[in-house]
Amino acid sequence: MHALSRRVYFGFGGGFASRARMSSPAARVGGGGGVRDPSENPAVGRLRELVKCGEAADGWEKSWESGVTPWDLGKPTPIIEHLVKSGTLPKGRALVPGCGMGYDVVALASPERFVVGLDISSTAMEKAKQWSSSLPNADCFAFLADDIFKWKPSEQFDLIFDYTFFCALDPSLRSAWAETVGDLLKPDGELITLIYLISDQEAGPPFNNAVTDYQKVLEPLGFKAVLMEDNELAIKPRKGQEKLGRWKRFGQQSSL
């Protein structure tokens, strides 16, 4: 496992709202090709500079302190609201890694589903607590500042939702991400990935990302996609650039 100071990852769970557009049919079918560099968004370029100038965790804190948060939608991810209404999500315990302001955490939380929002930024977690503490379902969620690769919860989860946390990781950490997810998820739990298709990146975050990148690290651990489809509810800048994946594990046991 790499030391924390060498990790380059951020909680883009609110949606990395760049001005990227698709330029090839291949990207629309899951290859991830043809998307312009998100650094065309000046805020993304500024974020990358903050990361480059210091440790990953320090850059993350500075991004929140200075308001450089281009991933923040200011509201829940639309597909999450749709899935909640559909009644198809597992109940019990859920985890949203890299949750940022925690909009998806709150949207998922209910008396039947307790949700933990995890982020490496203590500033983000304080902000999340401040805006959400008086909500009617405040007893159904919690926010925690911690490093997901070191965190050891007392219980596993029935559901994990990952939206752009994976593509915010340096690619060298993706296998560790899969192993961590496998440890945190119950053997019969479900992993939901909202996959931001992106290519031609020379730097990150976000880094190049395709469906095959998830398959490469998840399938050896027994995970299979029981659903992989276009996200028809993607935010406008990402129309045609996202895949919704729902994963279950077959034949493997968690070690947590």
124: which 2 tokens?
């983000």
Is residue 13 within 8 A of residue 164, CB to CB? The reply is yes
pTM over 0.75: yes
* Predicted confidence (pLDDT) per residue in 57-85, tens digit: 676 677 767 666 656 677 899 999 999 99
Q: Show the beta-strand stretches assigned E in 6-136.
A: 92-97, 113-119
Closest CA to 206 of 67, 65, 36: 36
Domains and CATH numbers, the chain: 39-249 (3.40.50.150)
159 contacts: CB under 8 Å, gap ≥ 6: 89, 90, 92, 93, 94, 95, 108, 113, 189, 190, 191, 192
* Predicted confidence (pLDDT) per residue in 211-246, tens digit: 999 999 999 999 999 999 999 988 887 888 899 999
* Predicted confidence (pLDDT) per residue in 165-209, tens digit: 898 888 889 999 999 999 999 999 999 999 989 887 777 678 888
